[in-house]
Amino acid sequence: MKTIFTRIQEGEIPSVIVHKDALCTVILDIQPVHKGHLLVISQEPYPTFSECPLPTLNHLMDIAQQADRKLRSVLDCDGTNLIINNGAASGQEVPHLHIHIIPRYTDDGQKFGFTKKTYAEGEMAKYGKKLEF
């Protein structure tokens, strides 16, 4: 399946590429949370994190770490968010594995929209048992 990211990697759609190798491409996000927001995109269009082979995933994380260091040094940001939206329910808009690296600044006004929940008495242990591997 050809995704918008495949089309970017093939040069059909213009983008600003900051890194490219055999396993991934790193581009500036066209709609950044903050300027400098990067996307580390797998060359192969793996739809989700779980479908990506471990050697490729390890490489993507290595490149994400290098990109994170670059953002922090060049943009002098106070922190970063590394985000993988994994499936449509999580907010993944393009079914092609990519890692967002978002520069963050103290008091930048950006907040996540999550509402934290609590477990009922004994419920946490039940979830823990279900999720053992």
Please identify every residue annotated as catalytic: 98
Q: Which helix H or strand E contains 35, and what residues bound it?
A: none
Q: Under a CB-based contact definition with an 8 Å cutoff, are residues 27 and 39 in contact?
A: yes
Q: Under a CB-based contact definition with an 8 Å cutoff, are residues 71 and 80 in contact?
A: yes
Q: How many other C-beta atoms can be found within 10 angstroms of the C-beta atom of residue 118?
A: 6
Contacts 24+ apart (CB under 8 A), 18-23: 18/67, 19/63, 19/66, 19/67, 21/63, 23/56, 23/59, 23/60
| Short-list 22, 21, 20, 2, CA closest to 12 | 2
